[in-house]
Amino acid sequence: MTAAAPAVRLTAVDGGVCRLTYLAGAAPHRAPVALLHGMFTDRRFWLSDKGIGLAAYLATAGHPVYILQRRGLSDSPRSRVRCGLDEHLYHDVPALAARILAEQARAATWIGHSFGGVLAARAVAEVLPEDAVAGLVLIASQFECGKRLLDWPGNLLTRAITALAGRLPARLVGLGPVDEPAAAVHDACTWVETGRRAPILKQSLSRITVPVLAISGAADRVDPTPGCRRFVAHMRSRELTFIHAARHSGLARDYDHAGVVVSHDARREIWPRITTWLDAPRA
């Protein structure tokens, strides 16, 4: 357990503001990590208000940890500019990468869950300089399977609800604990729809050559394993490790979408696998 870390404001070049949480790594000091959460949640997915979570575990293992909470969510600082996924990708994530390089003088491994993994992968492929990226950890991340309410024609309903409410009321419809800004929902629909029908996103992913760890839960119905395998298959990583979190792989359970990170079994079985991969020597 780690004491709740104070909030820091991260301001991007367009004036957008994110909430940044930093946990100093315990000795011996290891490489920094940056955590990007998925949709319908926030920084608490990685670190609860009681100081429990994968972020605290990584910090205890020696990794300086940066948790970037997207603009426009829950208790993020108020932003007067657009709060979409595009802005997070092209402005906020590069601002964090520059901060990590300035403070740590070494590249970070970027860790994303669900759509946070899609964000992390696109950032590595499209906007981050090579010296800012040591590796990529993708947990339950993909865009090609399921997600009917983000793909056409289902996204017509999603866009309509969001337009009427001014946000996607995730808590009301049972999607998660955090409502999403309209701009983020619009971008998510566009990413999924165009990603499936046009080659641009897949071609972008092919530029990823850094080491990649991908983890998929066998019981995940949100981002199922076939989609997660297809996601990393687009990459040209020089080192790719895929963990299928399932009983037949020797684990205690078939992990679901959130449980692959947020569960007692994940603390015991999944978190140590992540730190082992992070600390493995590489050329």
For residues 42 and 73, what is the distance between their CA atoms, to the nearest angstrom? 7
The residue type found at 33 is V
H/E run at residue 109: strand 108-113
Domains of the chain by start residue, with CATH: 7-143+200-279 (3.40.50.1820)
Determine the pLDDT at residue 79. Answer: 86
Cβ within 8 Å of residue 189, ≥6 positions away: 150, 151, 155, 158, 159
Q: What is the average pLDDT score of the chain?
A: 95
Determine the pLDDT at residue 28. Answer: 86
Query: In this predicted model, which residue has the larger pLDDT, 175 or 70?
Result: 70
Cβ within 8 Å of residue 235, ≥6 positions away: 121, 205, 206, 208, 209, 212
pLDDT in tens, 208-249: 999 999 999 999 999 999 999 999 999 999 899 999 999 999
Determine the pLDDT at residue 2. Answer: 57
Yes or no: say if 244 and 238 are a contact pair by the CB < 8 Å rule: no
pLDDT in tens, 143-173: 999 999 999 999 999 999 999 999 999 888 8
pLDDT confidence band for 139 (50 / 70 / 90): very high
The model's pTM is: 0.96
Query: In this predicted model, which residue has the larger pLDDT, 263 or 281?
Result: 263
70 φψ region: left (φ > 0), alpha (ψ -120 to 50), beta (else): beta
For residues 104 and 31, what is the distance between their CA atoms, to the nearest angstrom? 8
pLDDT confidence band for 7 (50 / 70 / 90): confident
pLDDT in tens, 186-204: 999 999 999 999 999 999 9
pLDDT (mean) for 20-46: 95
H/E run at residue 276: helix 264-279
pLDDT (mean) for 109-120: 98
pLDDT confidence band for 27 (50 / 70 / 90): confident
In 24-98, DSSP assigns E strands to 33-36, 65-69
Cβ within 8 Å of residue 172, ≥6 positions away: none
pLDDT in tens, 56-82: 999 999 999 999 999 999 899 988 899
Determine the pLDDT at residue 282. Answer: 77
Determine the pLDDT at residue 128. Answer: 98
Question: For 3-12, 52-61, 265-274, which range has the lowest pLDDT when averaged over its residues?
Answer: 3-12
The structure tokens listed for 176 are 């998660």
pLDDT confidence band for 251 (50 / 70 / 90): very high
